[in-house]
Amino acid sequence: MALFNSGKGARNGGDDGFEPREISCEEALRLVHDFIDGELEGVPTSEVQAHFDVCQRCYPHLRFEQAFREAMRRACARETAPPQLRDKLEKMLAEAPERG
């Protein structure tokens, strides 16, 4: 299993005395969707980004997911929901309890 060590102070982005946490390939790949979505919890984005920046095993997975999402976005950009479905979804969202 490949591990990444990004150097001094990576946890807070500088030379602050914190030892960076090693991100395994398994963890990076488990977090790839949250990373792309900007929804990482409990792991600094910079640590995950640093792993993808240097890991020859994981980087292709990141690029594939990004390319796949972009292709889906382009393909779906031409599609629109029927007015009845839009109305139903808007009503359901308005009635849904707030989470948080």
Look at residue 100 in the predicted model and tell me its pLDDT. 56
Q: What is the pLDDT of residues 53-100, one digit of tens each?
A: 999 999 999 999 999 999 998 888 877 878 899 899 999 999 888 765
Tell me how far apart the alpha carbons of residues 86 and 84 are, in angstroms, rounded to a whole number: 5
pTM: 0.59
Amino acid 78: pLDDT: 76
Calculate the alpha carbon distances from 60 to 29, 35, 41 in Å: 11, 14, 23
pLDDT, position 98? 75
State pLDDT tens for residues 3-45.
443 333 333 344 444 455 789 999 999 999 999 999 999 999 9
The pLDDT assigned to 36 comes to: 96
Q: Are 52 and 62 in contact (CB under 8 A)?
A: yes
Residue 40 to residue 67: CA distance in whole angstroms: 20
